[in-house]
Amino acid sequence: MSIYDTLNEQQKQGVFTTEGPVLLLAGAGSGKTRVLTHRIAYLIEEMGINPYQIMAITFTNKAAGEMKERVESLVGFADSAWITTFHSTCVRILRRYIDRIGYDTNFVIYDADDQKSVIKDICKRLNVDTKVLKERTVLSAISSAKDELISPNEYSLSAAGDYHKQKIAALYKEYQQTLKKNNAVDFDDLIMKTVELFKDCPDVLQSYQNRFRYIMVDEYQDTNSAQFELIRLLAGDRHNLCVVGDDDQSIYKFRGANIRNILDFEKYYPEAAVIRLEQNYRSTQNVLDAANAVIRNNIGRKEKSLWTDQGAGERIHFRQFDNAYEEAEFVADDVARKKRNGSYQYKDCAVLYRTNAQARLLEERFIVEGIPYDVVGGVNFYSRKEIKDLLAYLKTIDNGRDDLSVKRIINIPKRGIGAATIAEVQDYADEKGISFYDALKQADEISTIGRSGAKLKPFVDMIKVFRSKLQVYTLTDLIKDIIETTGYVRDLEADSEEEAQTRIENIDELVSKVASYEETHDEPSLSEFLEEVALVADIDGVDEDDDRVLLMTLHSAKGLEFSQVYLTGMEDGLFPSYMSIVADGDAEIEEERRLAYVGITRAKKELTICCAKMRMIRGETQYNAVSRFVKEIPPELLDNRMPKPAYRDDDLLQPSRTKPAAVLTKKRTAAENKPYIASAGTKMGISSFGSLGITKGGNAAGKPDYDAGDRVSHIKYGEGTVLAMEPGPRDYKVTVDFDEAGQKIMYAGFAKLKKL
């Protein structure tokens, strides 16, 4: 039996159509990775193509690693094929040729924190008030410009007559000059500089065009304009380009993704073969019917409809709660119940939400219930202070031109080198046109620093010694030597704070990471290790064998699947967001709807959709209607009837089964769309703080008629004993040990406990 006999007919078309441009429209869970890996195997095994001539690009290390493993399991070898990410591909090219456009090949890659530090310093130098023009705004504008391959000079020309843009143009120009001086690039530069290299050096481009006869791009709907140009250049005149994606899952516009790349593929390549993968192998039909019904309301899409032969499955569970506390409590209780009765392991469950801020209440409830969990997208391991400090040592050893790294560690651990001394050294470096580290080496010639110069020489000598040891040491030996010589861990051991021990454990983990890197690479190098670390994404760090519930934003969930998915906060004003509701045109709402589609299609067996009538957002009590995306799901697919709206909401009528929802949805003005926001105590038909016995000022309006030690009853949990009462700014927090349900923490106004 051939390995290709397991494919369905559309998948086979995707595998066997090897010549010319191919657009694979792969719906969620339709086996696109299977098609890509079998396509690579077919090229190697059946067509005799050398793996060296094949390139497959995706977005995450996790996806690239999985793809490479699958190809090797099919054909036994694929080492010379480039199966990697966009950024890794560009780093590999730039490491070899970036000197052709004015950089050294041992450049460093700046992360978001590094970029912010550079911009902060530039704003100070150029007297830019960061309260008026925030660093984040500047960096976002620079990133957007690079996504569109707009250089500082081009940006400056486009800013004529716009004072705000002119300021950003000046900062952009200075930012790029600083990066080049430091022999550094940021993530956007990796793509932009590779395109620049190809356009400035046709011989380099031709060498890669000759090498890669077959190019495949995964998640094509997430590409930006710069990535499109990179792929277009590599594909050249041969046009053996296969792109795989789903326009219905294009959710990264805020990162620069351009949905037109996939929607207009046939305009760029009129001869393209278009193949639709619509059979889903992940979810039940009820989940797919819900997803199809929601996404059908988008106009800017390529028509497709997912189906499965795995049966209808359970209906979608819909639950509406009075407030966000009850929502979080329900999710935690439901996860705990399903774990107890053996329905699912913790790792089979995921809780998805629109914004990171929603995680707090969920975390609190999971802690109370004793449920192990991980928050994806929290502080990245490599963003922790102690890890960035040690990586800065490694970067300084590898590339002394990186002023940012040298300045970070010059006084860590403390060496008595103050800010005034650092400023004098920087002035000298600027005057001489040299790097900060080179200026340190010439400290004896800087008359203005006086006796402080004596403190700089030991630091320079230490870096020199580390560099010489690198010639004979392993990387593991080097990192251990840095830790020992600098006394970094000794300082932490002398610290009595509990956090110090956690930081030491993180450092131990970094040493393990270095050792693991050396074990898995035939020719390990410091530059390559730093490069690998720089390209790690949040989701790459998730351990699939760890039995924990994952909490994450909908954006982070893309590409993942879980047996049980909880979609929380499904309310108009939160999801879709208020800004997308009031925006001109349909583009913003359609992006939000695609995000809802992604969330729904993460579920394999069960999908639970939750919302709250009342939620505290940015310190204000907000009352929202049920999300329009929930109302776009046919009622027969839900196991709970939709509630009647508490106030007029006739523009969100359930779509007809015979007419597209877009026809029935009436346009609302911004004022009509605005979520109702009330201060505590506002009188409304829905529960408000006033109805909870809480005063308008926000203080507790009187203690309940029970106290610690009293027996009480709850409508859901039955009888129990009050363990503790804690007054809060707006209500009493009550801890109760229920006879059947165990210990719960709740607010008195919401709990409605009755004293027995």
Q: Which residues pair with 83 in a beta bridge?
A: 56
- Single out the catalytic residue among 188, 218, 222, 606: 218
- Single out the catalytic residue among 33, 130, 178, 743: 33
C-alpha 92: how far from its chain's center? 23
Structure tokens at 165: 């843009």
Q: What is the mean pLDDT of residues 437-450?
A: 86
Contact call for residues 686 and 676 (beta carbons, < 8 A): no
Residue 388 parent element (H or E): helix 385-398
CA distances for 623 relative to 322, 323, 504, 572, 647, angstroms: 10, 9, 45, 9, 10
Where b means 16+ CB within 10 Å and e means fewer, 257-290 reads bbbebbeebeeebeebbebbbbbbebbbbbbbbb
Among 706, 697, 696, CA closest to 732: 706
Distance between CA 487 and CA 389 in Å, rounded?
13
Q: What is the mean pLDDT of residues 68-95?
A: 90
Distance between CA 253 and CA 221 in Å, rounded?
10
Please report how the helices 163-181 and 135-147 are oriented relative to each other, as an axis angle in degrees rounded to 10: 80
Dump pLDDT digits (tens) for 707-752. 888 899 987 778 888 888 887 656 788 888 888 777 777 778 777 8
Q: What is the mean pLDDT of residues 422-428?
A: 89
Structure tokens at 644: 């009647």
Exposed/middle/buried for 92, CB within 10 Å: 0-12, 13-18, 19+? middle
Distance between CA 421 and CA 260 in Å, rounded?
52
For residue 535, give every residue at least 6 positions away whose Cβ sits within 8 Å of its Cβ, in sequence order, or none: 61, 85, 87, 88, 91, 109
| β-bridge pairing 676-678 and 711-714 | unpaired
- The answer to whether residue 218 is catalytic is yes
Where b means 16+ CB within 10 Å and e means fewer, 525-536 reads ebbbbbbbbbbb
Task: List strands edge to edge, sheet with 214-217.
Answer: 82-85, 54-58, 214-217, 241-245, 22-26, 273-277
HSE-up (13 A, CA, CB side) for residue 593: 27
- The answer to whether residue 641 is catalytic is no
Distance between CA 143 and CA 604 in Å, rounded?
36
CA distances for 730 relative to 322, 360, 624, 752, angstroms: 17, 18, 21, 15
SS percent in the chain: helix, strand, coil, step 5: 50, 15, 35
| Binding region for ATP | 26-33
- The answer to whether residue 249 is catalytic is yes
Contact call for residues 235 and 210 (beta carbons, < 8 A): no
Dump pLDDT digits (tens) for 275-334. 999 999 999 999 999 999 999 999 989 999 999 999 999 999 999 999 999 999 999 999
- Single out the catalytic residue among 62, 513, 602, 613: 602
Contact call for residues 590 and 548 (beta carbons, < 8 A): no
Tell me how crowded residue 607 is: count the other CB atoms within 10 A of its CB. Answer: 29
C-alpha 166: how far from its chain's center? 31
- The answer to whether residue 438 is catalytic is no
Q: Which residues pair with 262 in a beta bridge?
A: none
Q: Tokens 């140009």 identify what position?
A: 229
- The answer to whether residue 219 is catalytic is yes
- Single out the catalytic residue among 32, 70, 146, 613: 32
Q: What are phi and psi of 302, to 5 degrees?
A: -95, 130
pLDDT at 660: 33
Percentage above 70 pLDDT, the chain? 88
| pLDDT > 70? residue 382 | yes
Decide: helix, strand or coil at residue 524.
Answer: coil
Q: Tokens 């990192």 identify what position?
A: 479
| pLDDT > 80? residue 693 | no
Decide: helix, strand or coil at residue 298.
Answer: coil
Q: Tokens 């310190």 identify what position?
A: 619
pLDDT at 566: 98
pLDDT at 730: 62
What's the one-letter identity of residue 544? Answer: E
Structure tokens at 577: 């967001």
Dump pLDDT digits (tens) for 658-685. 333 332 233 333 333 444 433 333 333 2
CA dihedral angle for residue 460, residue 465, residue 466, residue 468, rounded to 10 degrees: 130
DSSP for 111-126?
-HHHHHHHHHHHHHHT
DSSP conformation class of 751: H
Q: What is the mean pLDDT of residues 596-604?
A: 97
Dump pLDDT digits (tens) for 343-374. 999 999 999 999 887 888 898 889 888 899 88
DSSP conformation class of 568: -
Q: Tokens 């050096």 identify what position?
A: 201
Q: What are phi and psi of 323, to 5 degrees?
A: -155, 170
pLDDT at 477: 92
CA distances for 286 relative to 245, 282, 313, 536, 636, angstroms: 23, 12, 6, 36, 10
What's the one-letter identity of residue 657? Answer: R
Distance between CA 533 and CA 179 in Å, rounded?
19
Q: What is the mean pLDDT of residues 431-446?
A: 88
Percentage above 90 pLDDT, the chain? 53
Q: Tokens 């106290």 identify what position?
A: 707
- Single out the catalytic residue among 84, 89, 249, 486: 249
Contact call for residues 595 and 577 (beta carbons, < 8 A): no
For residue 221, give every residue at least 6 positions away whose Cβ sits within 8 Å of its Cβ, in sequence order, or none: 245, 246, 247, 249, 250, 257, 259, 261, 262
What's the chain's length in residues? 756
pLDDT at 543: 62
| Binding region | 26-33
Distance between CA 660 and CA 448 in Å, rounded?
75
Give me the chain's average pLDDT, please: 85
- The answer to whether residue 315 is catalytic is no
Dump pLDDT digits (tens) for 234-276. 999 888 999 999 999 999 988 889 999 999 999 999 999 999 9
More confident residue, 520 or 636: 636
The three state secondary structure string of 210-246 is HHCCEEEECCHHHCCHHHHHHHHHHHCCCCCEEEEEC
- Single out the catalytic residue among 114, 135, 186, 219: 219
Dump pLDDT digits (tens) for 10-58. 999 999 999 999 999 999 999 999 999 999 999 999 999 999 999 999 9
Contact call for residues 576 and 267 (beta carbons, < 8 A): no
Q: What are phi and psi of 480, to 5 degrees?
A: -65, -40
Contact call for residues 344 and 563 (beta carbons, < 8 A): yes
Greatest mean pLDDT among 146-150, 410-414, 470-474, 511-515: 146-150
Q: Tokens 């086996």 identify what position?
A: 31
C-alpha 478: how far from its chain's center? 32
